[in-house]
A and B are shown apart, each in its own frame.
Chain A
């Protein structure tokens, strides 16, 4: 992610809407990508990950899309709920030559998601 801190983008949605949170990363060698959710007073919580050999991965109510050509990652949350209100971070890391060991995570600046009932 590009940590250029910090005037966080914000996204405000109505309960039940779908949310899309975007992230740009800068390292063309990045191989592994993670989305985290951080609620006030808590540590980042893992949501979903994706490796560079995929362009889409789905979880429960969440989908991550990866576009390596433009170094862009997005998180889609279906039927957004008030409990989804938090700051969302993308993070990326590269992998060693053998493809077996991941390096340090670099975080994006985060996006504040607010869900209105």
Chain B
């Protein structure tokens, strides 16, 4: 089965450090989402791309977060500087803009900022 690959699976870092999370969407999918999941807020959309162009990043704290798609096979989410409140599971999902069979999620990156 085709799948969305996220790396790393787990990351523990100290406050103030830069964190980069990576996502390889399913080949051929032109829509990529970044979500953050916490117990308090549930699944929150941070940003999403279509054909590598950012369509909506209103859910992302702009002063410290940035999301990019350097090419069609890689999406990155960067936090600089990281803070303890950024601790969460970050999910990437990809799909087709026509919404065929929904969107496929990766296994997530569990980030802990101490």
Interface size class of A (residues with CB under 8 A): 20 to 34
Task: Please tell me which one of the listed residues B41, B98, B99, B103 contacts residue A5 in the complex, with CB atoms under 8 A apart.
Answer: B41
Indicate whether A6 sits within 8 Å of B108 (C-beta atoms), given known contacts A100-B97, A104-B48: no
Q: How many A-B residue pairs have CB under 8 A?
A: 69
Q: Across the interface, do A104 and B104 meet the contact criterion of CB distance under 8 Å?
A: no
Indicate whether A32 sits within 8 Å of B99 (C-beta atoms), given known contacts A43-B106, A43-B108, A45-B105: yes
CB under 8 Å from chain B, chain A span 99-117: 100-110
Q: Across the interface, do B98 and A49 meet the contact criterion of CB distance under 8 Å?
A: no
Q: How far is the CB of B53 from chain A (nearest CB, A)?
A: 13
CB under 8 Å from chain B, chain A span 40-71: 42-46, 49, 51
Task: Please tell me which one of the listed residues A3, A42, A43 contacts residue B41 in the complex, with CB atoms under 8 A apart.
Answer: A3
Q: Across the interface, do A109 and B42 meet the contact criterion of CB distance under 8 Å?
A: yes
Q: Across the interface, do A46 and B103 meet the contact criterion of CB distance under 8 Å?
A: yes
Q: How far is the CB of A32 from chain B (nearest CB, A)?
A: 5
Q: Across the interface, do A5 and B40 meet the contact criterion of CB distance under 8 Å?
A: yes
Is B114's beta carbon under 8 Å from chain A?
no
Interface hub of A5, A32, A45, A106 (most chain B Cβ within 10 A)? A5
Residues of B within 8 A of A36 (CB): 102, 105
Q: How far is the CB of A91 from chain B (nearest CB, A)?
A: 8
Indicate whether A49 sits within 8 Å of B101 (C-beta atoms), given known contacts A6-B39, A105-B33: yes
A residues with a Cβ closer than 8 A to B are 3, 5-6, 32, 34, 36, 42-46, 49, 51, 89, 93, 95, 100-110
